Amino acid sequence: MKVIQKIVELQNELFSCRKENKSIGLVPTMGALHVGHASLVKQSVKDNDVTVVSVFLNPTQFNDKGDLERYPRTLEADCQLLEACGADFVFAPSVEEIYPKPDHRQFDFPPQSTVMEGAKRPGHFNGVCQVVSRLFYIVHPDKAYFGEKDWQQIAVIKRLVHFIGMNDKLTIVECPIVREADGLAMSSRNMLLTFEERAIAPKIYEALSNSVEFSKTHSVAETHDKVIKDINAIDGLEVEYFDIVDGNTLLEVNTWEAYVVGCITVYCGHTPIRLIDHIKYRG
């Protein structure tokens, strides 16, 4: 496995791979890798001849600079995990390498980019699209792998792929969410939880899971209110938002339609740490 910091060096390596007609998979990450990331890398290794994993903490998608400063940075451990997973290249560039000058491009894909996370974190998805499009242009992968924990992000990236004209060259592969044994969705942010916070964080998924059965005999509004009530009743947890939406448009629904998903963000602890999750109700 090679660790590369420079775009030109990575592109030279990939040029040689393409001359041999090798397929290329890309797994974009911000580092602080865990078993969930490993599952994406292993899938790419299985599907492709060559796997590139980017490890880049992208500043343009953080509207809260304190959140950026707190985000874990564990490159050495990340590389050990990636080598064990069979990755071929780790692309770990500096901010100056990715953004040699300020990126003023604006990406807006309503409603997918403007609801939920888009509404609560202004500029977040624009930053995501800036860095992901840069990575797509640099690597030109055949397939790119994203975890379903960031479910809304996948919907936005699919719109991005069409917008930049790569829809006939690039396949977005959605990989199932990976959970801890107690149900907590694996996330790099989990590293920031204290022992006490880690103990209550699984209650988020517990409330979501319980609400699926509840939803079979209750309305969307009743289910929505129950989830918020159950989570907010736990000391140390506070719901930022919980939306029950159409799985395609991401717009809120009032009835149980063919494809319905519940998306939630919860503040955990006193710092606090922002945790996201989702549950499928129908479809």
Q: 3-class SS at 273?
A: strand
Q: 43: annotated binding-site residue?
A: no
- Burial environment of residue 258 by CB neighbours within 10 A (0 to 12, 13 to 18, 19 or more): exposed
Q: 178: annotated binding-site residue?
A: yes
Q: 224: annotated binding-site residue?
A: no
Q: 144: annotated binding-site residue?
A: no
Q: 260: annotated binding-site residue?
A: no
Q: 189: annotated binding-site residue?
A: yes
| Cα 63 off chain centre by | 16
Q: 121: annotated binding-site residue?
A: no
> Which one of the listed residues 37, 124, 224, 278 is annotated catalytic?
37
Q: 37: annotated binding-site residue?
A: yes
Q: 153: annotated binding-site residue?
A: yes
Long-range contacts of 201-205 (CB under 8 A, 24+ apart): 201/237, 201/268, 201/275, 203/231, 203/234, 203/237, 204/231, 204/237, 204/264, 204/266, 204/268, 204/275, 204/277, 205/179, 205/277, 205/279
Q: 52: annotated binding-site residue?
A: no
To the query of whether residue 278 is one of the catalytic residues in this protein, the response is no
- Helix intervals (H) in the chain: 7-19, 35-47, 65-70, 75-85, 95-98, 117-120, 124-139, 151-163, 195-200, 203-215, 220-232
Residue set of the binding site for ATP: 30-37, 147-150, 178, 186-189
Residue set of the binding site for (R)-pantoate: 61, 153
Residue set of the binding site for beta-alanine: 61
Residue set of the binding site: 30-37, 61, 147-150, 153, 178, 186-189
Q: Which residues are identified as catalytic?
A: 37
